[in-house]
Structure 1
């Protein structure tokens, strides 16, 4: 029996690689052959997974983190393909901050721009930026500032490019030295997004994600106005190709950084899961499998999220899919997931258990549940093969 293990990370608990190892060990105890395929959706961990698929060396760069504090960051450079692979969370991610530091009014993506500056010095032919897990809501203004753009207020004063200050910006002045931005624009810039959020509006960057980054109720309107102001500047300027990015699906990823990468760097959006799945060869692996097991801490029916997308790939090849999760979702969502995951949706919790204990035991619980799933599935296969 051939099982493909295609899991995402269990956030704040187990990486995708470790989750796959745990699930595979359970499958193998139950007598299955396994193929491990750690996955991500463009968010945290995407860089590690893509590095494993495409190769290259890690380049270390000290950058300004979300609050301006210097943090060590790194990105992947593949000399053979002249490709830079940047995970924005390493420079401007929420995981870099304490709870007290989370404040999208004050954070910026300056560090992402500094990683791009370093990559630009290598004359890249392609740049991939994975934009999930951000601590920011600045529309990529901090990134642009690091690349040489100036943000100017109504009285000609320089405006610090943080999420809260964008509403005061009247103009964005292009760099005097264009060598870095031109090198980036000459490259094929792909923006791997983990959401279909628009830049503004009820399904926009601020409305959907600002609060989890620390925004207070009074901040939301200011952040929304700031992103709208940026969008107006982009649309009104030939420097940005008069780009109309207000309602582009995915442009709101990472607090609008996705839109900023489109406007300033000529980036093109691509679903993070689709990008990673194509690089690791998920489709071919699923085609050869008897069963696929996927996992995430919380599963839902959101397009672009790993378990849902894995189930869709399985459906395309008529291969059963089982989902493992920390806890089962509400009834209507579970019913929809069960229609997609034809081999079932399983909670790894053995009974009443605290969140802390479930995190501490996550790998063991994944392994145990996977073994049970495989034993049940093999039993069903054996019974079917025994029928006349």
Structure 2
């Protein structure tokens, strides 16, 4: 029996690698003789640099950058074996996990550290950057990142803005005269974890703002401010990126990199799966198991588990294991999944659930394997 295990991370609890090991541990209690292939994945968010570095025999580095709340944080980035490619993960500099739950509000967070990571990688000799833009705490439209690259943003009184989400409400003019010119000779690819446009009811603020702490009463105002900001910026630079699929990823970071760094967008999961040769590994697999912290109707829009499901051949059973199942999850059965299993064992404080994530994943996996064994097919 061949089992391919390719989960994404369970946000704020276990990494993709830990989730994969937990699933294998559960299945091995029932199928110790199976052939297991562990391929931890990412879709542009947490774990992207690890997946890409492993696929390119690369090396990791850790540097100090500006965090989402303005203080210093330690952020990792990676390079290909020859040093020509730099792999950057937005969440390393301004991820949601870096902001205490009680302080989460994207009006106060910035993506400035992402720009610092980009400049550092270029300074180390990277001529190509691949940037994952998922898992952020920000909704600044990439303004903070652009400010780190040398762009300047001003309010109606001519005061320079720092580049937080709240500054979207204040911008009236932009200057690119001090931008870092090295960007013009660097190829930049954005690995986007979603396909959402920048603005509108399917955009960055409405869809992802609430989970980052944006008050519901502010959604319309911030969405309109994002649109005005990109009208101003697009007019200044000569390009409109608001409606490009994926421009809303990372609180508008997709759009920011497109406009301010002349990047190109690619589905993050497609990029990672290609690097990992996922389709080839899934050939002749009996089961393909994926999952992440939460699966719902949004999962099919560029998220990692949906990408994995597409790599499975028709005869293979595809199983999802996730922390919780949300609204609209029934559509997953129309997109390659045969079964979806949540791991939450009981009602308890979120802090306790996160701490027990590995154990919960292992137990659920064991139960799934036992069910398959009982069916008598394996």
Same fold (TM over 0.5): yes
C-alpha distance 2-164 of structure 1, shift in aligned 2 (>3 A): same
Would the aligned equivalents of 2:57 and 2:81 in 1 still touch at CA under 8 Å? no
Separation in 2 of the partners of 1:364 and 1:162? 38
**Quick one: which of 310, 315, 318 aligns to 1:318?**
315
Separation in 2 of the partners of 1:11 and 1:119? 26
| Corresponding residue number in structure 1 for 2:199 | 200
Separation in 2 of the partners of 1:352 and 1:108? 36
Could you tell me how far 1:317 is from its partner in structure 2?
A: 4.3
Tell me the alpha carbon deviations over residues 174-207 of structure 1, each in whole angstroms, 9 at most, x when there is no partner.
133x5xx332232221111111221111111111
Tell me the alpha carbon deviations over residues 56-78 of structure 1, each in whole angstroms, 9 at most, x when there is no partner.
22222211111211112221122
Would the aligned equivalents of 2:234 and 2:259 in 1 still touch at CA under 8 Å? no
RMSD: 2.4
C-alpha distance 381-275 of structure 1, shift in aligned 2 (>3 A): farther
Normalised TM-score (structure 1): 0.88
Would the aligned equivalents of 1:326 and 1:358 in 2 still touch at CA under 8 Å? no
Separation in 2 of the partners of 1:333 and 1:57? 37
| Corresponding residue number in structure 2 for 1:386 | none
Would the aligned equivalents of 2:53 and 2:80 in 1 still touch at CA under 8 Å? no
Would the aligned equivalents of 1:322 and 1:341 in 2 still touch at CA under 8 Å? no
Separation in 2 of the partners of 1:352 and 1:71? 35
Count how many residue pairs are aligned between Structure 1 and Structure 2. 373
**Quick one: which of 344, 348, 356 aligns to 1:354?**
348
| Corresponding residue number in structure 2 for 1:229 | 228
**Quick one: which of 364, 367, 376 aligns to 1:369?**
364
Could you tell me how far 1:130 is from its partner in structure 2?
A: 0.6
C-alpha distance 329-257 of structure 1, shift in aligned 2 (>3 A): closer
Could you tell me how far 1:209 is from its partner in structure 2?
A: 1.6
**Quick one: which of 126, 129, 132 aligns to 1:124?**
126
Could you tell me how far 1:339 is from its partner in structure 2?
A: 4.8
| Corresponding residue number in structure 2 for 1:295 | 291
Could you tell me how far 1:159 is from its partner in structure 2?
A: 2.7
| Corresponding residue number in structure 2 for 1:307 | 305
Would the aligned equivalents of 1:65 and 1:91 in 2 still touch at CA under 8 Å? yes
Separation in 2 of the partners of 1:127 and 1:359? 33
| Corresponding residue number in structure 1 for 2:271 | 275
Could you tell me how far 1:28 is from its partner in structure 2?
A: 2.9
Secondary structure of the equivalent of 2:291? strand
Could you tell me how far 1:347 is from its partner in structure 2?
A: 3.5
Could you tell me how far 1:142 is from its partner in structure 2?
A: 1.0
Would the aligned equivalents of 1:16 and 1:45 in 2 still touch at CA under 8 Å? yes
Normalised TM-score (structure 2): 0.90
Could you tell me how far 1:55 is from its partner in structure 2?
A: 2.9
**Quick one: which of 76, 91, 108 aligns to 1:89?**
91
Structure 1 gap ranges (5+): 384-388
Tell me the alpha carbon deviations over residues 42-100 of structure 1, each in whole angstroms, 9 at most, x when there is no partner.
11222222222223222222111112111122211225150111111111112111123
Of structures 1 and 2, the larger Rg is shown by 1
| Corresponding residue number in structure 2 for 1:7 | 7
C-alpha distance 174-381 of structure 1, shift in aligned 2 (>3 A): same
Structure 2 gap ranges (5+): none
Secondary structure of the equivalent of 2:168? helix
